[in-house]
């Protein structure tokens, strides 16, 4: 029985080591690729930029960096990542800067519900930073925001197989794709942009809800401080919304397009995301505002 247990521990330990080596290989593959935005952000040939765009799906689908570059002569990237919030935007900017990135401007696409959130938490797509878990700033991000003991993100620093196993379809299969085709990108183009199709479900125009911003999210202050420390001009941007209008705050450099496309249902995919035509209009108006 003792001999059996020793062999069980030996083979179990070897299997555990081999699995974790496989995970480290998967993480390496993702780090070398452009599959997800964290790797895309640091694997560019040119990391000295005129601007970057940060945000969630609204930033991802509203500001077309290809069009901005063509109209201004600037060089920029859209580093927005869907299904995220201000903590992830802060991490993305920190990640970009820690890996040699430089930018003169940071365009932060916000939403009124996110800046009002006094209890920020981990984003649904933050696991895309797991290949960089060895970096202190990534570990700190997970440690501060995760409140579960033995959570798959934080624990991956010591037990990588836990994170990869938990997010297997989101990480392991993409790592195989990345190994075969490092330049493959997950739903965004070579400048970081994605666009929704012409229309989702039928849309109705309503009397707009008008409200003021409530700035309760401490991660907005963290982004402001990070920009100040790196001499980056921070520009807040509110993307168009179909039936919502936010009053422009006085204490920020702010481009407020919340009511820009009011009643123009043909320019929206849904109530908070523009479609291809809406993106073009919003981007052109953004360029006018930022260059005037």
Q: What is the pLDDT of residues 71-120, one digit of tens each?
A: 999 999 999 999 999 999 999 999 999 999 999 999 999 999 999 999 99
Contacts of residue 123, Cβ cutoff 8 Å, sequence gap at least 6:
81, 83, 84, 85, 87, 88
Predicted pLDDT at 117: 97
The rounded distance, in Å, linking the Cα atoms of 45 and 75 is 12
Instruction: Identify the structural domains of the chain with CATH numbers, from first to last.
Output: 46-167+192-291 (3.40.50.1110)
Phi, psi for 45 (deg, rounded to 5): -65, -40
Among candidates 257, 258, 270, 261, which has minimal Cα distance to 198?
270
Q: Model pTM?
A: 0.94
Q: How many C-beta neighbours within 10 Å does residue 83 have?
A: 12
Instruction: Tell me what the mean pLDDT of segment 256-263 comes to.
Output: 93
Residue with the bigger pLDDT between 194 and 200: it is 194
**167: pLDDT strictly greater than 90:** yes
Q: What is the pLDDT of residues 195-215, one digit of tens each?
A: 987 766 788 888 888 899 999
Relative orientation angle of helices 276-291 and 65-72, to the nearest 10 degrees: 40
**Pairing relation of β-strands 209-211 and 244-246?**
parallel
What average pLDDT is seen over the chain?
A: 91
- Find out whether 205 and 265 touch, Cβ atoms under 8 Å: yes
- Find out whether 132 and 148 touch, Cβ atoms under 8 Å: no
Percent of the chain with pLDDT strictly greater than 90 = 75
**272: pLDDT strictly greater than 90:** yes
**229: pLDDT strictly greater than 80:** yes
The rounded distance, in Å, linking the Cα atoms of 185 and 21 is 25
Give the best-scoring range by mean pLDDT among 11-25, 148-162, 227-241.
Answer: 227-241
Predicted pLDDT at 7: 57
**What stretches of the chain adopt beta strand conformation (E)?**
48-54, 76-78, 102-110, 209-211, 233-238, 244-246, 254-256
- Find out whether 89 and 76 touch, Cβ atoms under 8 Å: no
């Amino acid at each position: 029985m003792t001999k059996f247990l020793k062999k069980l521990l030996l083979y179990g330990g070897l299997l555990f080591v081999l699995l974790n080596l496989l995970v480290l290989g998967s993480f390496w593959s993702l780090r070398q690729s452009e599959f997800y935005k964290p790797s895309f952000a640091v694997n560019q040939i040119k990391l000295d930029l005129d601007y970057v765009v940060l945000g969630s799906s609204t930033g991802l689908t509203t500001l077309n960096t290809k069009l901005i570059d063509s109209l201004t002569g600037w060089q920029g990237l859209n580093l927005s990542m869907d299904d995220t919030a201000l903590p992830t935007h802060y991490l993305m900017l920190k990640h970009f800067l820690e890996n040699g990135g430089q930018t003169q401007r940071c365009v932060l696409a916000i939403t009124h519900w996110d800046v009002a959130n006094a209890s920020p938490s981990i984003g649904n797509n933050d696991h895309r930073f797991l290949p960089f878990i060895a970096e202190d700033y990534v570990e700190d991000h997970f440690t501060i925001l995760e409140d579960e003991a033995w959570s798959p993100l934080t624990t991956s620093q010591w037990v990588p197989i836990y994170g990869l196993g938990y997010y297997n379809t989101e990480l392991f299969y993409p790592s195989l794709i990345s190994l075969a085709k490092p330049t493959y990108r997950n739903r965004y183009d070579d400048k970081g942009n994605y666009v929704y199709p012409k229309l989702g479900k039928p849309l109705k125009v309503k009397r707009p809800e008008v409200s003021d911003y409530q700035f309760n999210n401490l991660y907005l202050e963290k982004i402001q401080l990070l920009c100040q420390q790196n001499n980056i001009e921070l520009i807040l941007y509110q993307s168009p919304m179909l039936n919502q209008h936010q009053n422009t705050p006085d204490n920020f450099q702010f481009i407020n397009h919340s009511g820009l496309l009011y009643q123009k249902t043909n320019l929206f995919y849904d109530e908070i995301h523009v479609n291809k035509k809406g993106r073009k209009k919003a981007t052109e108006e953004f360029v006018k505002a930022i260059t005037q």
